[in-house]
Amino acid sequence: MHLKKSTLKPNETIQINGSKSISNRLLILDKLFGNLLIENLSDSEDTFVMQKALESNAETIDIYHAGTAMRFLTSYFAIQEGKTVILTGSERMKQRPIQPLVDALRDLGAEIDYLENQGFPPLKIVGRKLEKSAVTIPANISSQFISSLMLIGGKLENGLEINLAGEITSRPYLEMTLKIMRNAGISNSWEGNLIKIFPNIRTEKNSHLMKFVVESDWSSASYFYALSAIGREAVTLKTFRQYSLQGDSILKEIYWKCFGVDTISEAIENKISLLPDHFFHFPEKISLNMNDCPDLAQTVCVTATALRIPFEITGLQTLKLKETDRLLALKNELFKIGCICEITENSISSTKFFKPNDHISIKTYDDHRMAMSFAPFCLIEELIIENEGVVKKSYPEFWRDLQKILD
């Protein structure tokens, strides 16, 4: 994708698709309990893969690059009594660890075997009734492992108690899962490090059809926040609620505090307007702990580099286990746009800015967020985004929407 050096059109409106995080959770719950009517479902590849897998009767289920599907489906298939499934994915998926989730499910009585490398997909899952109702799992792992267990908890005869051992990572994603489940009629509680999911026995009285309109995706909104921050023009986004289930809605606070982009919510029309303050005094340095919202880190780093604001971002330990090692990928590609960085196991910080060379070409590493987070830099310099098709994983219409607001 060749992006010429552009300017941002003022006051354009973009309709972003439904959140894939919410969509994928609802699809699992609907398959387990069967009483949800879901509207504005995400059109992402990840959600399509999840739908296809849930509807399949095949013995082998290939989820390609979809990490959420791998984690949620591992628990889902573990409780499908009498059904045997091989759950596999792309070569990168086979390098992404899943042992903490498998260990927890085995502790509950699940029958799961590794077919290639210990601790990694592909998995052979023999569905069975899980008799136990309590499990302990590390709290500092991917929230999707824990959400995967929560989603099946209401289907277990005695519910499920999940003890989170240690410091909790990505708390907002866990809170989102619990809220979605409560909205779907599945009672739960969270006190301290103990999450309780209560058994949910569907009767004629409580199995009435419930309608869900999936709100748009806040992580997808981040790229337009970056455009507004760099281009200093207003952008309107639909369909967003003032009070969101999604932890990534912290974006509003981050972009106001760091880049002077205010968010005005219009509740009646379910839209938000991004309004840059033209008199904003940029901070001398951005220091953020993004433990609760690591998926926003790439966009924040690119925005800060475009505006030449030094940054230090911590709490990023999970980024090394994503579609690629995002910390290393960020370091490599930020250099191309004029930022020298240092990285550790859980942080990235700028050390020097310089004028980038001509002919910038951004490698995407099969990672949708690398493509979309670097795209707003076209407001500063012409650039090429390699393998631009990776955006289909979460936001297939991204390039169309981007071109709509660029001059």
User: Rg for the chain (alpha carbons), in Å?
Assistant: 21
Among 217, 292, 295, 401, which one carries the catalytic annotation? 295
The 3-class secondary structure across 300-312, one letter per residue, is HHHHHHHCCCCEE
What's the CA gap between 52 and 63, in Å, rounded? 9
Residue linked to tokens 């504005």: 40
358 is catalytic: no
* Distance, CA of 34 to CA of 401 (rounded, Å): 34
What does the alpha-carbon distance between residue 61 and residue 87 come to, in Å, rounded to a whole number?
Answer: 5
**Residue the block writes with tokens 């297939």:** 396
Calculated CA dihedral for residues 286, 287, 292, 296, nearest 10 degrees? 30
383-385 sheet: strands from edge to edge? 2-3, 383-385, 360-362
Residue 77 and residue 125 in contact, taking contact as beta carbons nearer than 8 Å? yes
- Tell me the two tokens of residue 240: 């967003």
Strand partners, 15: 238
User: Are 346 and 314 contacting, i.e. CB atoms less than 8 angstroms apart?
Assistant: yes
Q: Do 258 and 300 contact (CB within 8 A), yes or no?
A: yes
DSSP per position, 18-65: BPHHHHHHHHHHHHHH--EEEES---SHHHHHHHHHHH---SEEE-TT
One-letter amino acid for residue 404 of the chain: K
| Residue 278 one-letter amino acid | H
Nearest CA to 240 out of 211, 209, 274, 210 is that of 274
Q: What CA–CA distance (Å, rounded) separates 175 from 113? A: 30
CA nearest neighbour of 319 among 311, 303, 305, 330: 330
> Is the separation of the CB atoms in 132 and 108 below 8 Å?
yes
Ramachandran bin of 187, using left for φ above 0, alpha for ψ from -120 to 50, beta for the remaining angles: beta
Q: Residues with catalytic annotation?
A: 295
